[in-house]
A and B are shown apart, each in its own frame.
Chain A
């Protein structure tokens, strides 16, 4: 593998994203003789799942914060020895353009004008993973309230904690993983607050039986958490975070089957941090701008529609892993390999086909089990800021719906600025969609998938003639 600054090489395949799906795809594609560009926004291989400390931190046992670390080490070693793979770290791809001979990816390496890079390839694989879904509640903008994935990410890469006594809340399997790592790293976790009752999983017993690895992973987390005295509060939610300049405690309430807080069940828990999240949202901006078809998953997110060969509905564009619906690292690894075989026009390997079948079934079960109930908005008071960037309170969103006639998230955005800020609606999008009563699972449109300096947009063909 070459740490490449080469820009105008025509590749057989450009893989966007160096997490499980992208790593497996790049490795398999190189093994099939394809010339591969592995393009990633991060500074180290691994994506969010295999996120790990910088070498300067001298971590002897990074595996202690990971499941499946050996798979990552194996892939990393193979890619390091693969002459056909050019690794392009720190490249944020902001657009993909299709021409007569293939694709041109436009990427930016940083804020300085002229640091725009074009990568040309015959085929593109979108392996950009997912980001966390947030459902707002009063106090969620207080310092010390962090996303569950964010707490994981900061711990895995920076070896730091947001506090010493951390409540973990929301819904989904990430909560168990996050609580497990936080306690292992020395934090006290007084409670995991999970909105569902895990009963959804019982509907899929055959699926569970086919995924013993997932059960073992869950049991492993449960063992660790039990050892640390972590209390699991099911069918409950954090309905308010307290504090003035940082969080000092949370109020937890029981939820009914529709996720409506049950009056009189409130209970206060002291903490100096809260890690919260409600599942993951596929990151598919680049494909949506190209007109790729999407499907709505059981938990109301938009994922890319792919065929048995991981091909999207856009010719020449493949997708693997969380972009096709959130399902975890093992599924992403299998789909990455399957996509590589399809790009190379080779028959799909049986092992990965079987793994995908099992893991996709588990993903569907998981999504259904943790789908937000329709009445979660009951804990959003009018004063709660829904859009963190533009500081738009729920009151403004509700008024846009009830008094100004807005019927979908887009109209609400135009009337209130919710979703128009720095993050482009990544944090508030799902919540605004719910509060506006519009359809869920509709993909957001972001013509540029990350911030790009104007000077770089103004350049023609990636040349750097424009000076400051």
Chain B
């Protein structure tokens, strides 16, 4: 059993995103965080002080741990951003020098 099977999902054909230069499949309707989890990736940020890896924690846009750079724009919460074909996601180092996305 997997989640897709459980709910009888029949998604359209997968999109392709780039994560740190590597192609990752994303189903239509998934967020970038969901696409990365499905690929086994759980970290896409390195903290400012300790240089520690982080990824999605609260999953609903509250904790801001899942920040990464998307298409050159830093500080995007991947648990909120829908995956689009061709999105380029890069691990964010530190604060990313950008304004917080909403």
Determine if A92 is an interface residue (Cβ-Cβ < 8 Å): yes
Q: Does A438 contact B (CB under 8 A)?
A: no
A391 touches B58 (CB 8 A): no
- Indicate if the CB atoms of B59 and A151 lie closer than 8 Å: yes
Size of chain B's interface in residues, with CB distance under 8 A?
49
Across the interface, name the chain A residue whose C-beta is closest to B45: A143
Contact call A55/B29, Cβ cutoff below 8 A: yes
CB distance from B68 to the nearest CB of A (A): 13
Asked whether any CB of chain B lies closer than 8 Å to the CB of A242, the reply is no
Q: How far is the CB of A140 from chain B (nearest CB, A)?
A: 9
Contact A185 B1 (CB under 8 A): yes
Whether A159 sits at the interface, judged by CB under 8 Å, is yes
Asked whether A427 lies within 8 Å of B42 as measured between CB atoms, the reply is no
**Residues B3 and A146 in contact, CB atoms below 8 Å apart:** no
Q: How far is the CA of A158 from the CA of B63 in the complex (A)?
A: 18
Please measure, in the bound complex, the distance between the C-alpha atom of A131 and the C-alpha atom of B58, giving whole angstroms: 9
B62-95 contact mask (Cβ, 8 Å, vs A): 1 or 0: 1111010000000000010010000000000000
Nearest residue (CB) in A for B41 is A143
Can you list, as one digit per residue, whether each of A47-80 has a CB less than 8 Å from chain B (1) or not (0)? 0100001111111111011000000000000000
Whether the Cβ atoms of A246 and B59 lie closer than 8 Å is: no
List the A side residues contacting B28 at CB < 8 Å: 54, 56-57
Q: Which residues of B contact A53 (CB under 8 A)?
A: 7, 9, 29
Distance to closest chain B CB from A247 (angstroms): 9
**In the complex, residue of chain A having the shortest beta-carbon distance to the beta carbon of B65:** A388
**What is the CB-to-nearest-CB distance from B95 to chain A, in angstroms, rounded to a whole number?**
9
Subset of 23 A-B contacts with CB under 8 Å:
A54-B29, A57-B28, A58-B9, A60-B9, A141-B54, A142-B53, A143-B42, A143-B53, A149-B60, A150-B59, A150-B60, A158-B30, A158-B35, A159-B34, A160-B37, A162-B42, A185-B2, A185-B3, A245-B43, A421-B64, A422-B64, A426-B62, A427-B58
| Mask of A227-263 contacts with B, CB within 8 angstroms, 1/0 | 0000000000000000001100000000000000000
Which chain A residues in 433-468 approach chain B with CB under 8 Å?
450-454
Give, as a whole number of angstroms, the nearest-CB distance from B3 to chain A.
Answer: 4
Q: Determine if B6 and A141 form an interchain contact, defined as CB atoms under 8 angstroms apart.
A: no
Residue B56 at the chain A interface, CB threshold 8 Å? yes
A245 to B91, CA, bound (A): 14
C-alpha spacing A309/B92, complex, angstroms: 48
How many residues of A sit at the interface, in one of the four size bands?
Answer: 35 or more
Contacts of B23 in A (CB 8 A): none
Provided the pairs A59-B7, A132-B58, A154-B56 are in contact, do residues A422 and B100 lie with their beta carbons within 8 angstroms?
yes
A186 surroundings in chain B (CB, below 8 A): 1-3, 5-6
Q: Which residues of B contact A323 (CB under 8 A)?
A: none
B13-36 interface code vs A (CB 8 A; 1 in, 0 out): 000000000000001111101110
B67 surroundings in chain A (CB, below 8 A): 422
Please encode chain A, from 403 to 426, with 1 for each CB lying within 8 Å of some chain B CB and 0 for all others. 000000000000000000111001
B63-A427 in contact (CB<8A): yes
15 additional contacts (CB under 8 A) given A110-B101, A158-B31: A41-B61, A56-B28, A57-B29, A61-B8, A62-B7, A65-B6, A65-B7, A141-B52, A147-B63, A150-B57, A155-B3, A157-B31, A159-B4, A159-B30, A389-B64
Report yes or no: B102 in contact with A111, Cβ–Cβ below 8 A. yes
**Distance A247 CA – B101 CA, assembled complex (angstroms):** 28
Question: Given A143-B42, A143-B55, is A451 in contact with B7 using a C-beta cutoff of 8 Å?
Answer: no
* Alpha-carbon gap, A109 to B101, bound state (A): 10
- A184 with B6: in contact, given A111-B102, A132-B58, A246-B42 (CB under 8 Å)? yes
Q: Is the CB of A153 within 8 A of B60?
A: yes
Q: Does A161 contact B (CB under 8 A)?
A: yes
- CB neighbours (8 Å) of B34 from chain A are 154, 157-160
What separation, in Å, do the CA atoms of A64 and B50 have in the docked complex? 41
In the bound complex, residues from chain B placing their C-beta under 8 Å from that of A149 are: 58-60
CB contacts (< 8 Å) of A453 on chain B: these are: 99, 102
Minimum CB–CB distance from B65 to chain A (whole Å) comes to: 6
Nearest CB of chain B from residue A148's CB, rounded to whole Å: 10
- What 5 A-B pairs have minimum CB-CB distances, sorted nearest first? A158-B34, A150-B59, A54-B29, A422-B64, A56-B29
A392 to B96, CA, bound (A): 19
